[in-house]
Structure 1
């Protein structure tokens, strides 16, 4: 009986990580499409700016966590070398999260703090402790420890959205239904990406704005991409 419970927990852990990995792999893509600068804003989602400063702060969180987790400078430099496009990846995640949570909201899905804490406790137990979970999540998903709860909330929202849609994440039909919901949400939010970071290309609709309508503002030019 104990063995069955352990196998069940292991399967749950594997399924959770697999879904999160699939979510990252299948997110709307940011592809290069221009060099025009739009000072101050990395993206606009639902009329709300994701500023370059906010993006760079998130990137710094990851880099600081990677440095702290590295045994020496050489190891840290190797990690940085393998994630040179961290700014684009991070912005991709920030936009995806907003779109996903809008799709979840439209489907009547909510995620409670208790649900996040239960999942975190479950994953931590299987990883060998909360610190080990933070390190694994950082290594696998480039998510800083301070953002772990947010990341887990996104995973739960994705799982519950699949269920709300009556979609099976293990089938093409189920995945298509999921991405269609995100595509619809993305259109409602009118996602615009600064060309410096690529464009919004929703997987199911193929929407890619090469010349997004950016809000004008007086600001200093954005700095170079932080790697």
Structure 2
């Protein structure tokens, strides 16, 4: 799970920093909107789960970093879904159910899930999307290794594939969240000094 999620989280979407024309929009991905409410609801859910969990030994995102990571999550999901459509990759409910069972077995069962999600800064309501994304990336990885690539090269190829798809979709993010880096396909913190040199 860590391997597939790590690959998926590396990749996202984008062209260049530009303000969304609709300020109720956190981002647009190929014309599809990710609303501010989607991001805000995800953050609220994460914070509510933290309040029920012992987080004293966890290093967790907060503030602007949390805002960026949640928007990145939704953008990444959209990019991965677009790659799946292009490559005709299908994920069935049976596959999701089987993967969920596998993951629960690895983490120690259902009771351990809330703590795992809090530590990973993931909202419980997004769990199915997380599983779908992992399964899509797993199928992409399998196809790459079947073509003769090593596991390491397969990961690099998937990252390149998704970044190129992100460029094609011309992501636009709300400046509130920072700026888009086209080369890394990541949301970065905005320059608080607006380019000024500080002594």
Q: Does TM, normalized by the shorter one, top 0.5?
A: yes
Q: Which runs of 5+ in 2 are unaligned?
A: 188-199
Cα deviation for residue 156 of structure 1 reads 0.8
CA distance in 1, matches of 2:82, 2:25: 21
CA distance in 1, matches of 2:85, 2:164: 12
CA distance in 1, matches of 2:169, 2:59: 34
Q: Describe how 1:1-227 pairs up with structure 2 within 5 A.
A: 16-24=1-9, 26-28=10-12, 39-70=23-54, 75=56, 82-84=61-63, 85-139=65-119, 141-165=120-144, 166=147, 170-171=151-152, 173-203=153-183
Larger relative contact order (Cα-Cα within 8 Å, sequence gap ≥ 6): 2
CA distance in 2, matches of 1:116, 1:94: 19
RMSD: 3.2
CA distance in 1, matches of 2:25, 2:81: 21
Cα separation, partners in 2 of 1:169 and 1:136, compared to 1, 3 Å:
farther
CA distance in 1, matches of 2:107, 2:4: 17
Per the normalisation by structure 1, the TM-score is 0.68
CA distance in 2, matches of 1:108, 1:68: 41
The answer (yes or no) to whether the contact 2:8–2:133 under 8 Å persists in 1 is: no
Cα separation, partners in 2 of 1:106 and 1:89, compared to 1, 3 Å:
same
The answer (yes or no) to whether the contact 2:173–2:179 under 8 Å persists in 1 is: yes
Larger Rg, first or second structure (1 or 2): 1
CA distance in 1, matches of 2:32, 2:76: 14
Cα deviation for residue 28 of structure 1 reads 3.9
Secondary structure of 2:28's match? Answer: strand
